[in-house]
Amino acid sequence: MTLHDLGFDPWFTAHAPESQPEGCAIARVCAVDRGSYCLRNESGEVPAELSGKLSYQSDRTTDLPSVGDWVTAQYYDNGRAAIIHQVFPRKTYLRRRAAGGTVDQQMIAANVDIAFIVQSGHFDFNPNRLERYLIMAADGQVEPVILLTKTDLLTEEELKHRLGIIASVTTARIIALSSVTGTGLGELRGALAPGKTCCLLGSSGVGKTTLVNRLVGLDAYATRTVSATGEGTHTTTRRQLIQLESGAMLIDTPGMRELGVLGAADGIDMGFAEMTALATACRYADCTHRHEPGCAVRAAIQRGELQEERYANYVKLRKESEYFEMSSLDKRKKDKSFGRLVKSVKKGMKD
């Protein structure tokens, strides 16, 4: 196995750190689990830890290694362990707002070629959540492919309806799958090209780990029986990169209950291309499409050319992105201002 087999292409050669610590070698992060790391090189997998300098100089959590990152590492104990010294620049990435009300970012995976966005065709089908995943992919310059799973639980008419909804949201490739019947697995395997890195994204229980087992060809990863609703239950607890027999690499990720966008205005515009196109006809260049006169987006809704639900989700995501783009100080000021307004209203009601 070579670094090229693991995805190290000329882009990373051109963007390598200018100086590297003596005695270090290049490796790829293949697993991250609560601050513990695992690297993969030409010889195999090695557990690793951060150097004190890298840990100290990393101002943000996104500066720390993520699954899929290329790093320089120093080996010890006869090559059975390593210390990570540097992280290469990222070609692409998948990130989200960290869970909770913070403005921190959380890296999901780095240097991903294709994001397989997994949506269950059964109870958990959610177009609004799909739009968020599409924004995540667009924000990090990653090609999206939609995987609609559990199609064996749908009638032919239900499947056609689900596929129609997805097609109204995105022009990305769609693969309808069933891990029970095997439908679509051949098409999915065909998308897994040697040397390419793909990432599975989706909520808990949509069938990601089951898909990994089908692609690997054995039950290498634990799954759980479906719940009373017919949906799967959460299994994966860490992000890990798996190399398939085809030569492709697949990153499995835990299910995400929260999927906040953070500073992803460009990704939102790409995810809602029809609204971006309509906005060029708005009276004002900085139109927010909420209340301004001469708004071409709202006019399209009135004419029935644009779905109101999709518009509402667009506005919601834009407001969310703008809010979390603010600096922490501005955010605190806005929170305090809102708090004073609430107190003033309450006081007026008492009076």
pLDDT tens, residue by residue, 280-309: 999 998 888 888 999 999 999 999 888 888
Of 44, 209, 230, the residue nearest 122 (C-alpha): 230
Residue 259 counted as domain residue: no
- DSSP of 233-295: -----SEEEEE-TTS-EEEE----S--B--S-HHHHHHHTHHHHHHHTTSSSTT--SSS-TT-
Residues 101 and 241 in one domain: yes
Residues 22 and 111 in one domain: no
- Report whether pLDDT(242) > 60: yes
Residues 120 and 153 in one domain: yes
Residue with the larger pLDDT of the pair 348 and 148: 148
| CATH number of residue 331's parent domain | 1.10.40.50
- Report whether pLDDT(26) > 90: yes
Beta-carbon contacts of 148 under 8 Å, excluding residues fewer than 6 positions away, are: 119, 120, 121, 159, 162, 163, 166, 174, 175, 176, 177
- Report whether pLDDT(341) > 90: no
Using CA atoms, how far residue 30 sits from 83, 209, 271, in Å, is 14, 16, 29
For 310, list phi and psi in degrees, rounded to 5: -65, -40
Q: Which of the four pLDDT bands, split at 50, 70 and 90, describes residue 219? A: low
Write out the H or E segment, with its range, that includes residue 110.
strand 105-110
| Count of domains for the chain | 3
- Under DSSP, is residue 108 helix (H, G, I), strand (E, B) or coil? strand
Q: Looking at residue 228, what is its pLDDT?
A: 42
Q: Which of the four pLDDT bands, split at 50, 70 and 90, describes residue 39? A: very high
Residues 186 and 46 in one domain: no
Q: Looking at residue 173, what is its pLDDT?
A: 96
* Span between the terminal Cα atoms of the chain, in Å: 76
Q: Looking at residue 32, what is its pLDDT?
A: 92
Please tell me which of 168-177, 201-210, 248-257, 337-346 the model is most confident about, judged by mean pLDDT.
Answer: 168-177
Token pair, residue 144, equals 């999206």
Q: Looking at residue 17, what is its pLDDT?
A: 86
Tell me the pLDDT of the chain averaged across its residues: 83
Residue 33 counted as domain residue: yes
The CA distance from 206 to 234, in Å, is 9
The CA distance from 160 to 182, in Å, is 18
Residue 246 counted as domain residue: yes
Beta-carbon contacts of 31 under 8 Å, excluding residues fewer than 6 positions away, are: 37, 38, 67, 238, 239, 240, 241
Lowest mean pLDDT among 29-38, 82-91, 92-101, 165-174: 92-101
- Under DSSP, is residue 136 helix (H, G, I), strand (E, B) or coil? helix
| CATH number of residue 125's parent domain | 3.40.50.300
- Compute the average pLDDT of residues 118-123: 86
Beta-carbon contacts of 127 under 8 Å, excluding residues fewer than 6 positions away, are: 165, 166, 169
pLDDT, tens digit (0-9, with 9 covering 90-100), for 130-174? 988 998 999 899 999 999 999 999 999 999 999 999 998 899 999
- Report whether pLDDT(48) > 50: yes
- Report whether pLDDT(108) > 50: yes
- DSSP of 293-311: TT-HHHHHHHTTSS-HHHH
| CATH number of residue 69's parent domain | 2.40.50.140
Token pair, residue 38, equals 């695992």
Residue 70 counted as domain residue: yes
Residues 283 and 241 in one domain: no
Q: Looking at residue 157, what is its pLDDT?
A: 95
Give the domain-ending residue among 87, 108, 134: 87
Domain that holds residue 76: 10-87
Residue with the larger pLDDT of the pair 187 and 314: 187
